[in-house]
Chain A
């Protein structure tokens, strides 16, 4: 299932050719600009190509969903962004969206409908789980993660915010790895510390950084891989692992990267 070239069409190109994609891949700002998360975007695109999904991206036409602005209290800016994005999406008659960012996912799913944007939106963890269940991703087992100790960090915006707890775990289960849970998981999971626009400012004074507390908990499981499904969690946990000087022993991967690696894409 390894293609030799990868195709990343933009929606504008596709429409110009008179074609329509099955889904729109909403990349998000982190997936577009953050060096670490660009690798996740690429891994996911490789999977989409390998499975033969007819998809497109907005490319330069994509804007921030406005999530950080709304959570920081600036609803004007949020709505400016949201309404502009909705105009683009509705203009292209977009129906189905997949995204690797739980913040984009939550905002488009829950907050865009009131502003006139109604789409079926799927987080990439659910999407990957569906592909595995449909047999379109056939993990042979015995890949590089077989038997490896992996712990999954729940993103607040996937988990508590939208009750997606099992999909990412089922994706990981397909790797035939040794899944271990942290002390606080699922509905009781501890935030990485970046949500609510904390990503974009210094933390308030305290006794500890939230990502350090969470990283300590992840490391306590003895896992060699910390799996995440959110760009903010990725950054916070990677920083935490570095802070604990464990970056050679413990890696933080997005679930899409784990699938792509297991498939040798």
Chain B
């Protein structure tokens, strides 16, 4: 009998592992649709950023109360993994509470910590559900947060509550079986535990075998729930739990105001101006120049393959919290631009292309593109490049970079920008100023100063 459940359990692990690996590979391939970019410099600084932002949750505490609640769920997730390790080993080996004899008196404290976190997670998830569905906080009801993102959020919160309830009630039923010294539960004297002991009265009057059935049900529900959830997460905005770490590690280190240079353009401009390209590039240690000439692709980004892998990883790291959009001056004043939507669109497009490629379909060549099919030009034109979205993101996502790449496509490939921008371009080109003034008048401001001696009063 025991062997059957062990075999069953291992099969469940393998099936879950198969789907998880397949999905992770798909995501990796989707991210690799992006262009190469070197983000391997300054590992020490990168580790520090990752430690502070992802591990240390620094930016979450811009809103201290939400930060604290998020921390409870985060710690719950990380620490309860130890319990999951025990559950998985028990499942494979056919043991029960494998760690208890090894940890001795410490075991109960460990479980008490888990239970404390489980209760914290339940309370927090309930508050989050209320915040999302009853209080209707503005950023959770923006126009880009359609039915699926809302459902996704609720599925995540409800699943977490159910998993924690399964964990607590499993502990409660197990404690009773231990007290009643039933079968193999007799040898283990781990419970009762801090919180689950309050659930134990629920089982009074239940027969030993009924409690045993419940204990197994809760155990299986908990672990199968976790395995299913792990796969679900890869399809969900909840993927940030994994990608927050690499995403912060590969953060942009340059000042926020610095836009990515386009070396292809530099080469062309230098040729036009008759400047030898190489010596000047030597003075630019920040840009590693490949030996072979850069493959001239598209100027700017029309679709996801014109973005870099980091832009694409950003999109998979986005948990749609909307702090970027809440800080966006364009969005605040009712314009269509929402930095969060830019990230969601980028991800949706990747998923669409990825699904198509998986089925042997046209992939990127499906007649659609990120610009126009997903992101409208009106959105892109509204950006003031103020970096508020970049600053606000708890996991260092950079929507501005994508906006600029799409604008570059609009300006340089498509040559479709507002007429007033074209006028500004030609002013810069002909008059060396964005306004139509004569370049010879540039120094006129000083005339008054030079002509009339000032007496200071």
Interface, chain A (partner B; CB < 8 A):
2-6, 8, 10, 27, 29, 31-34, 38, 41-42, 45-46, 57, 59-60, 62-64, 66, 68-77, 79-81, 83-84, 87, 106, 109-111, 113-116, 118, 156-157, 160-163, 187-188, 190-191, 193-210, 212-214, 264-265
Give the residue name and chain of the B residue nearest to A62 (CB): B442
Could you give, for residues 413-431 of chain B, a 1 whenever the CB lies within 8 Å of some chain A CB and a 0 otherwise? Answer: 0000110110111001100
The docked-state distance in angstroms from the alpha carbon of A264 to that of B273 is: 47
Given contacts A79-B269, A193-B329, is CB(A32)–CB(B445) below 8 Å? yes
Chain A residue contacts of B209, Cβ below 8 A = none
From B259, B281, B448, B456, A70 is in contact (CB under 8 Å) with: B259
**Measured between C-beta atoms, what is the minimum distance from A81 to chain B in Å?**
6
> Which residues of chain B (403-453) have a CB below 8 Å from chain A?
404, 407-412, 417-418, 420-421, 423-425, 428-429, 432-435, 437, 439-446, 448-450, 453
* B255, CB-defined interface residue at 8 Å: yes
* B387, CB-defined interface residue at 8 Å: yes
Given contacts A76-B265, A157-B257, is CB(A210)–CB(B384) below 8 Å? yes
The docked-state distance in angstroms from the alpha carbon of A63 to that of B431 is: 8
The docked-state distance in angstroms from the alpha carbon of A42 to that of B451 is: 13
The docked-state distance in angstroms from the alpha carbon of A160 to that of B442 is: 30
Instruction: Pick 22 A–B contacts, CB within 8 A, sort by A.
Output: A2-B455, A33-B435, A34-B435, A41-B445, A59-B443, A63-B433, A69-B424, A73-B412, A75-B265, A76-B268, A77-B428, A83-B270, A109-B255, A111-B258, A111-B261, A116-B283, A156-B384, A201-B381, A203-B335, A203-B382, A205-B336, A213-B329
Chain A residue contacts of B281, Cβ below 8 A = 116
- On whether the beta carbons of B385 and A71 are closer than 8 Å, the reply is yes
**Measured between C-beta atoms, what is the minimum distance from B242 to chain A in Å?**
27
Bin chain B's interface residue count: 35 or more
The docked-state distance in angstroms from the alpha carbon of A253 to that of B194 is: 63
Other than the given A8-B446, A160-B386, 14 more pairs (CB < 8 A) read A2-B455, A8-B449, A34-B435, A60-B442, A62-B432, A68-B424, A72-B411, A73-B408, A73-B417, A106-B255, A110-B257, A162-B257, A213-B329, A264-B457
* B182, CB-defined interface residue at 8 Å: no
Chain B residue contacts of A106, Cβ below 8 A = 255, 257-258
> Which residues of chain B (170-184) have a CB below 8 Å from chain A?
none
Given contacts A32-B433, A190-B329, is CB(A79)–CB(B300) below 8 Å? no
**Measured between C-beta atoms, what is the minimum distance from A108 to chain B in Å?**
11
The docked-state distance in angstroms from the alpha carbon of A5 to that of B451 is: 9
Could you give, for residues 294-338 of chain B, a 1 whenever the CB lies within 8 Å of some chain A CB and a 0 otherwise? Answer: 000001100000000000000000000000000101101111110
**Measured between C-beta atoms, what is the minimum distance from B431 to chain A in Å?**
9
Given contacts A6-B450, A57-B443, is CB(A33)–CB(B384) below 8 Å? no
The docked-state distance in angstroms from the alpha carbon of A213 to that of B384 is: 14
The docked-state distance in angstroms from the alpha carbon of A85 to that of B352 is: 45
Chain A residue contacts of B383, Cβ below 8 A = 196
**Measured between C-beta atoms, what is the minimum distance from B342 to chain A in Å?**
14
* B256, CB-defined interface residue at 8 Å: yes
**Measured between C-beta atoms, what is the minimum distance from B322 to chain A in Å?**
15
From B287, B333, B429, B433, A114 is in contact (CB under 8 Å) with: B287
Could you give, for residues 260-300 of chain B, a 1 whenever the CB lies within 8 Å of some chain A CB and a 0 otherwise? Answer: 01100110111011010000110110110000000000011
Among A34, A74, A206: residue with most chain B CB under 10 A: A74
The docked-state distance in angstroms from the alpha carbon of A42 to that of B412 is: 37
